[in-house]
Amino acid sequence: MTKIISYNVNGIRAATNKGLLTWINENDFDIVSVQEIKAMKEQAPLALIEELGYHHYWHSAEKKGYSGVATFSKKEPDNVVIGCGIEKYDREGRILRTDFGDTTLLNCYFPSGTTGDIRQDFKYEFLNDFFNWIENLKKERPNLIIVGDYNIAHTEMDIHNPKSNKNSSGFLPEERAWMTKWFESGFTDAFRHLNPELVQYSWWSFRANARANNKGWRIDYQSVSNPLKDKIKQSFQIKDAVHSDHCPVFMEIDI
């Protein structure tokens, strides 16, 4: 069994100061995929990560203090690919691939559109390009696990107040339709597959005591290509881990 978490840490250094690495050590995950690291590799607590027994791989944004992803794994991957080969996304540090045997893990941080139309349009471009890129990758690597912050709540079950958020970036009809298309294209939402009626969130605004009142969004996902879906054993949000405005998403899978 392989225990995987995906966690938007909203700054690896800030999260480390809040006990992130101690918590990871106590839980002994096999693979830890973190997003929005907001740091260059050399600014991160590399020695501490290595002390915990992890190999670590980084894809930082060119812009300092922004975006970026990193993957820590107990087992050394056979292959590591930084980025997707599309410069406008790769300069923002959005995709990191690690291969373990015939299984490929992609650690992804999808763009947010909350700052206005320019970034919302960029997000739509990313969704379209990412979908097409994955369609090609799937032919070569059919056993895919694609984890990370998708920045979209898929259904009304995945957001605390769907009516008042119907015009909010992250819950727009076009974004939700993309998620439906995504899961119809050969992927399974690990959490929803095992928990069809359970309401859990993975992100809460810092405003209005949202986390304490559990007024959140589920925007962090673990998509598993359908050849692997029967191998998913557990999937849930770890709500009591508080190192960020997100919480980790956990999956146990037989790979």
Query: What CA–CA distance (Å, rounded) separates 152 from 218?
Result: 8
Furthest CA-CA distance within the chain: 47
Cα angle value 79/82/85 (rounded, 5°) = 115
**Residue corresponding to tokens 């993957």:** 71
- Quote the DSSP letter at residue 78: S
Query: What CA–CA distance (Å, rounded) separates 4 from 235?
Result: 9
Query: Looking at 30, 99, 117, 149, which residue is catalytic?
Result: 149
Q: Identify whether 149 is a catalytic site residue.
A: yes
Burial class (CB in 10 A: 0-12, 13-18, 19+), 80: middle
Sign of the Cα pseudo-torsion (234, 172, 149, 97, in order): positive
34 in helix, strand or coil?
A: strand
List residues with catalytic annotation.
149
